[in-house]
Amino acid sequence: MRLFTAVYPSAEASAHLDLALGGVGGAAVADPGASLRWVPKEQRHVTLAFHGEVPDGAAPGFVADLRAALAQQEPFDVALAGGGSFGGRTLWVGVGEGLEGLRALSAAAERSAALAGFRADDRAGGRPHLTVARAFVPRGRDRVDRGGARRARGRDEVSPLVAWAHALAVYRGPAWRVDAVHVVTSRLGQGRSGGPLHEDLAVLPVG
């Protein structure tokens, strides 16, 4: 099974983000077209660790060990803030409050995965974020500068996500209490509009 560990925003935080995305994306929110896909609201999450393909028999031990580790943590508040784009292909919203708490949860997931014998790519140690949209950006044609040299047109020049990321730079969302961690299975291509299907394997309390 394909597995990741994550925390999910509250309904209030998700609704607040919807309003911001509506103001940024405009008509593209309701009618994104073939080259843009918004992440369904129920799938928006902040990844703590990505595990990839995990043997079915290894998952129960991981869940049990992580449950015990999370019992030693304290619930904490997280708030989304700012935004960015990865190569003009992914639009994300960052985390402003609760970074240390998220990193502690990520470290716990990494230790439990190691004990269970599989990987845990740390997604909270560097730049924790919540992905909201993905775009297919065709390669632009080369352009000629004033000196006559040909330069490849970058992806960022043709992707709407870059402008939206700039607009989201000032975003500040409401805080929510992180009191649970989700261990989630992901089946590629089996979800809405050909996206992944996410299902909780376990929801583990923090504290």
> Which range marks the domain in which residue 22 is found?
2-205
Q: What is the average per-residue pLDDT within 43-47?
A: 95
The overall average pLDDT reported for the chain is 86
Residues 65-75: tens digit of each pLDDT:
999 999 999 99
* Tokens (6 digits) for 82: 């700012």
Contact between 7 and 46 under an 8 Å Cβ cutoff? The reply is yes
161/206: higher pLDDT: 206
Q: How far is CA 88 from the centre of its chain?
A: 15
Q: Of 197, 63, 194, 182, nearest to 136 (Cα)?
A: 194
Contact between 63 and 3 under an 8 Å Cβ cutoff? The reply is no
Contact between 66 and 109 under an 8 Å Cβ cutoff? The reply is yes
154/175: higher pLDDT: 175
Q: What are phi and psi of 48, to 5 degrees?
A: -90, -40
Q: What CATH number does residue 141 fall under? A: 3.90.1140.10
Q: Of 103, 99, 93, 71, nearest to 180 (Cα)?
A: 71
Q: What is the average per-residue pLDDT within 178-194?
A: 83
195/167: higher pLDDT: 167
| d(C-alpha 68, C-alpha 204), whole Å | 9
Predicted local distance difference test score (pLDDT) of residue 100: 94
Lowest mean pLDDT among 62-66, 144-148, 194-198: 144-148
Q: Of 91, 110, 112, nearest to 39 (Cα)?
A: 91
Spatial neighbors of 171 by CB under 8 A, at least 6 apart, are 17, 20, 80, 81, 82, 83, 93
| d(C-alpha 123, C-alpha 48), whole Å | 5
Q: Of 133, 159, 156, nearest to 22 (Cα)?
A: 133
Contact between 8 and 44 under an 8 Å Cβ cutoff? The reply is yes
Count of structural domains, the chain: 1
